[in-house]
Amino acid sequence: MTINYVCKHCRTELGSLQSQVLDLEQIDWQLLSDKEKQQLMAYHQDQTITFQVICEYCQQLLEQNPQYHELDYFIQ
């Protein structure tokens, strides 16, 4: 199983975890609501999971421009 982390705004690949046996509780999976899991995670047929997170660059832009929080995607 592979878990990929991708910025939900700029689509930068931030990293991945690979393991034959991966305990999702180690990454605090259980803390997410069902709605959050649907919004932030995508399951793929090849047994990978993609998490949408925010990279440092986009986080800085959000802090400098709080109005961007209203947008789903602010980087074109």
Q: In the prediction, which pLDDT does 37 show?
A: 84
- Helix or strand (DSSP H, E) at 53: strand 48-53
SS3 at position 18 = strand
Question: Do the domain assignments include residue 76?
Answer: no
Q: How far apart are CA 1 and CA 23, in angstroms?
A: 10
DSSP-based helix, strand, coil % in the chain, nearest 5: 35, 30, 35
Question: Do the domain assignments include residue 75?
Answer: no
Total domains, the chain: 1
Angle, alpha carbons 69-70-76 (nearest 5°) = 80
User: Tell me: the pLDDT tens digits for 34-68?
Assistant: 898 888 889 899 989 899 999 999 999 989 988 88
- Asked whether the whole model's pTM tops 0.85, one would answer no
Question: Do the domain assignments include residue 40?
Answer: yes
State which residues form the domain around 37. Answer: 2-70
